Amino acid sequence: MRIEDPAKFEGQISYVDTEIMRDNIENIKTIFQKGISSLAVSPEKRENVIMMKRKWFFLAIVAALLVVGSVFCLNYYRRVAIGSFDDCVGAGFPASKTYPLQCEAYGKVFVKQGSDPVEVAVDNVVTNFGRVMQFVSTNAPKKIAAQAVADNYRDLVSPSLLAAWMQNPAKAPGRKVSSPWPDHIMVTSVARVNTTTYTVAGDVIELTSDNVADGGMADEYTATATVAVEDGNWVITNWDSSRT
């Protein structure tokens, strides 16, 4: 078979390629126009779509309001239903590990009934003591530290113990460094020694600014206080802790 000179077909090949490209472009235009036409919606259909969207939007709002209302009613019912320590614990709120047992719900604190009122009073002395420990900087100059001891501990400790701590503030419980600081005492037990004397054990909880913002605690240490009646008042007469 004789092969013709390829140069003779060069112009014809270019022409055929051009025609094919033109046909493809026309086909693409036709397909694109049909797609656009298929997407076109009549005014009646467009109105129906808008109405359907409005209907679903309205139903969504109604459903959201029903959910919010149900949650509000449930919380209100739970608040009204909780009126005692047992109700609080029964509703799922945790009981404290302190003495006497307490349960907090919706801003209210419920104390377990049956607690000895004398033991509660003794517990309160140590609890209140723990709340003011942070205001007594024992490493401050002696005069300033002694004044802080007097201002914060005067109503909570016996006169003899107060005098000893004012004489030597470095031996008094309080804030040893700027951070962490003693924030409160979690009373763990109250034991009766006799009618006028009790031994109270607890944990001193220390916090930092990060703990205040994010929760948790920086450190803790155990402490034991002797609480006795002097001049008709319950006061701390002795203090011992694992932190020197």
Question: Quick check: bond before 180 cis, omega within 30?
Answer: yes
DSSP string, 22-76: HHHHHHHHHHHHHHHHHH---HHHHHHHHHHHHHHHHHHHHHHHHHHHHHHHHHH
Structure tokens at 56: 């679903």
pLDDT digits (tens), the chain, 244 positions:
444 554 444 444 444 455 656 665 666 666 655 555 554 556 666 677 777 777 777 777 877 777 776 665 555 545 557 888 888 888 888 877 666 778 888 888 888 776 688 888 898 899 999 999 999 999 999 999 999 999 999 999 999 999 999 999 999 999 999 999 999 998 888 999 999 999 999 999 999 999 989 888 999 999 999 999 999 999 999 999 987 6
Please give the structure tokens belonging to residue 184. 């409160």
- Are residues 228 and 238 in contact, defined by beta-carbon separation less than 8 angstroms? no
